[in-house]
Amino acid sequence: MRRYSLNRKTKETNINVEVNIDGTGKSEINTGIGFLDHMLDQLSKHSLIDLKVHAEGDLHIDYHHTTEDSALAIGEALNKALGDRVGITRFGQALSAMDETLSRVVVDCSNRPYLIWKVKMTKPKLGEMDTELFKEWFQAFAQNAGITLHIETLYGENNHHIIESCYKGLARALRESLAIDKDRSHEIPSTKGKL
């Protein structure tokens, strides 16, 4: 069973996360940040990862800590659920279109975290959320999930569409990369013998 639950508590946030990689895309999300909840619902739905996130954070200050810490917790839970990564396809990619926007997301579940972020937005906020926080979310997620993550918006105008295409692209790329490779279901997908 590729699932894991954890609690991450600091002076700034208290976050409970449950992930089930082999789920059906069911989600229960409550971060206190409406737009982030919407994006995490999309991530769960399109990756087929069951995801529960309950976060309490210092939103009276700003959304930074809750945004970053939710990504840290989700990434860590995903990493733990993967275990030694035996049998995974490892690589995944998606072109994600949303109306006028097209984004490309490529992942390598290599246990070597890295983020390439080529996404430009023209507004400082989406709803009440600062748009600069999205890079922080993807960085924290990649770091703690142990994935190399490349995200590039090829074109787009609407900032909502741009960010949503990034989350949906991540979801589809994860769905592909975390799937069990039926031809090598008992192997580590690396010539090193370890990820």
In a domain, 194, yes or no: no
Number of neighbours of residue 32 by Cβ within 10 angstroms? 15
In a domain, 189, yes or no: no
Which residues neighbour 162 within 8 Å (Cβ) at sequence distance 6 or greater? 101, 103, 119, 121, 153, 156
Strand order in the sheet with 27-30: 3-9, 13-20, 50-57, 27-30
- What is the pLDDT, as a whole number, of residue 193? 87
Taking only the tens place, the pLDDT of each residue in 13-34 is 999 999 999 999 999 999 999 9
pLDDT values of the chain reduced to their tens digit, one per residue, 195 residues: 899 999 999 999 999 999 999 999 999 999 999 999 999 999 999 999 999 999 999 999 999 999 999 999 999 999 999 999 999 999 999 999 999 999 999 999 999 999 999 999 999 999 889 999 999 999 999 999 999 999 999 999 999 999 999 999 999 999 999 999 999 999 999 999 889
State how far the Cα of 168 lies from the Cα of 22, in Å rounded to an integer: 18
In a domain, 54, yes or no: yes
Number of independent structural domains in the chain: 1
In this structure, are residues 68 and 137 in contact, taking their beta carbons and an 8 Å threshold? yes
- What is the pLDDT, as a whole number, of residue 140? 98
The three-point CA angle 75-31-37 to 5° equals: 80
In a domain, 193, yes or no: no
Taking only the tens place, the pLDDT of each residue in 65-85 is 999 999 999 999 999 999 999
Phi, psi of 70 (to 5 degrees): -65, -40
In a domain, 152, yes or no: yes
In a domain, 191, yes or no: no
CATH of the domain at 157: 3.30.230.40
Domain extent at residue 55: 3-184
The amino acid present at 78, given as its one-letter code, is L
- What is the pLDDT, as a whole number, of residue 1? 87
